[in-house]
């Protein structure tokens, strides 16, 4: 593995290996016995969008593994004044050992990976959010004891998170049913790729149909970062696509409720469900740290 840009790049063995290692690193951290594979290394975080979880879990994760991490937003560096990504990639590669990037177009992380000579980790693009999926599936493993033999329901926008759930279903083989309003389907490229890999993935219009027989119920905000101007229209278009008690009761008993956070209570999910006994959202958020340490360790060049 040279970079970590999308779940589709992983083999089943690689993905299961990362999840297994993430669980082990979680245990080692609790025991105060983490290894230091990043000793002497410097990792840069280049973020063109806001972040709480991704930023902090990467900064802390790099530090826990013995390295140093620092944050840059485009307005603090010449990128924001028009310096090309290709030059930024080559210059940063002369100083740092790895790069975590959060940006808009997925092409931007690909360009940084292509022009630089250091590992690049995708910390979210408009297309996908692979780091989040490792944390989500670590949480599923903890709660259900499997990452292959379960059904997951996705309710709402066919966005970057949906893309990475589709890719994960393709790589691991679990069943995924996505309920999206018309006009908000997931990227056709994700569905086509997943189907080609034999994935058990479907898009339906009825959230009740998606959650029937589901062991995991999952959602995300109606308007992602960069879509603020569409927020009011989306709120109307997503009416009926809320995770609430009534919908949860249609899933398998004890189904695990996930949300990558930040959440908009009362929109895509009710306060009652988010804070309720079936919600695993804060374990899920914590697992970002452990899952990403597994990625950092796998990419660290010595
Ligand atoms: N879930 C997630 O990526 O959160 P942040 O936007 O806070 O990083
Ligand atoms: N889909 C959301 C995820 C945030 C973690 C966004 O892109 O804003």
pLDDT in tens, 25-72: 999 999 999 999 999 999 999 999 999 999 999 999 999 999 999 999
**Mean pLDDT, residues 242-269 taken together:** 98
Output the CA 225–ligand 2 centroid distance in Å: 6
Asked if the model's pLDDT at residue 255 lies above 90, the reply is yes
Give me the percent of the chain exceeding a pLDDT of 90: 99
Output the CA 196–ligand 2 centroid distance in Å: 27
pTM confidence score: 0.98
Burial of 17 (0-12, 13-18, 19+ CB in 10 A): middle
Pocket residue to mutate for ligand 1, from 125, 219, 260, most atoms within 8 A of Cβ: 260
Asked if the model's pLDDT at residue 302 lies above 80, the reply is no
Asked if the model's pLDDT at residue 137 lies above 70, the reply is yes
Distance of CA 69 to the CA centre of its chain: 20
Say what the pLDDT of residue 301 is: 78
Strand order in the sheet with 200-204: 200-204, 175-179, 151-155, 216-219, 256-259
User: Which positions ≥6 away from 214 have C-beta within 8 Å?
Assistant: 151, 152, 153, 177, 251, 252, 255
Output the CA 222–ligand 1 centroid distance in Å: 15
Nearest CA, atom 3, ligand 1: 54
Q: Which ligand has its closest atom nearest to the C-alpha of 259?
A: 1
**Mean pLDDT, residues 236-264 taken together:** 98
Instruction: Please state, in angstroms and as integers, the Cα–Cα distance from residue 196 to each residue in 8, 193, 295, following that order.
Output: 12, 5, 26
Q: In whole angstroms, what is the distance from residue 260 CA to residue 262 CA?
A: 7
Asked if residues 149 and 128 have their Cβ atoms less than 8 Å apart, the reply is no
**Mean pLDDT, residues 284-295 taken together:** 98
**Mean pLDDT, residues 232-238 taken together:** 98
Q: In whole angstroms, what is the distance from residue 139 CA to residue 289 CA?
A: 12
Nearest CA, atom 3, ligand 2: 224
Q: In whole angstroms, what is the distance from residue 135 CA to residue 130 CA?
A: 9
pLDDT in tens, 8-17: 999 999 999 9
**Mean pLDDT, residues 92-112 taken together:** 98
Asked if residues 255 and 279 have their Cβ atoms less than 8 Å apart, the reply is no
Say what the pLDDT of residue 261 is: 98
**Mean pLDDT, residues 139-157 taken together:** 98
Q: In whole angstroms, what is the distance from residue 98 CA to residue 101 CA?
A: 10
Average pLDDT, the chain: 98
**Mean pLDDT, residues 77-106 taken together:** 98
Considering just the CA atoms, what is the radius of gyration of the chain in Å? Answer: 19
């Amino acid at each position: 593995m040279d970079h970590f840009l999308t779940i589709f790049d992983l083999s089943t063995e690689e993905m299961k290996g990362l999840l297994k290692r993430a669980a082990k690193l979680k245990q080692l951290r609790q025991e105060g016995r983490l290894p230091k594979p990043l000793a002497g290394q410097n990792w840069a975080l280049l973020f063109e969008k806001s972040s709480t979880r991704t930023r902090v879990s990467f900064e802390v994760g790099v530090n826990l593994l013995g390295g140093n991490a620092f944050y840059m937003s485009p307005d603090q560096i010449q990128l924001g004044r028009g310096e090309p990504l290709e030059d930024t990639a080559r210059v940063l590669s002369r100083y740092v050992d790895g790069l975590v990037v959060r940006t808009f177009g997925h092409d931007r992380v690909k360009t940084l990976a292509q022009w630089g000579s250091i590992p690049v980790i995708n910390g979210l693009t408009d297309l996908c959010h692979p780091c989040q999926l490792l944390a989500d599936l670590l949480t599923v493993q903890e709660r259900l004891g499997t990452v292959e033999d379960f059904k997951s329901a996705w309710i709402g926008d066919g966005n970057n998170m949906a893309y990475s759930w589709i890719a994960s279903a393709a790589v691991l083989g679990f069943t995924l049913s996505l309920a999206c309003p018309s006009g908000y389907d997931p990227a056709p490229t994700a569905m086509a790729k997943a189907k080609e890999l034999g994935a058990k993935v479907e898009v339906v219009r009825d959230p009740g149909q998606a959650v029937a027989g589901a062991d995991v119920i999952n959602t995300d905000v109606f308007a992602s970062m960069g879509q603020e101007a569409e927020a009011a229209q989306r709120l109307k278009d997503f009416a009926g696509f809320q995770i609430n008690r009534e919908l949860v009761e249609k899933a398998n008993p004890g189904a695990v409720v996930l949300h990558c956070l930040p959440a908009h209570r009362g929109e895509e999910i009710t306060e009652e469900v988010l804070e309720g006994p079936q919600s695993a959202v804060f374990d899920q958020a914590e697992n970002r740290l452990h899952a990403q340490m597994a990625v950092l360790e796998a990419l660290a060049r010595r």
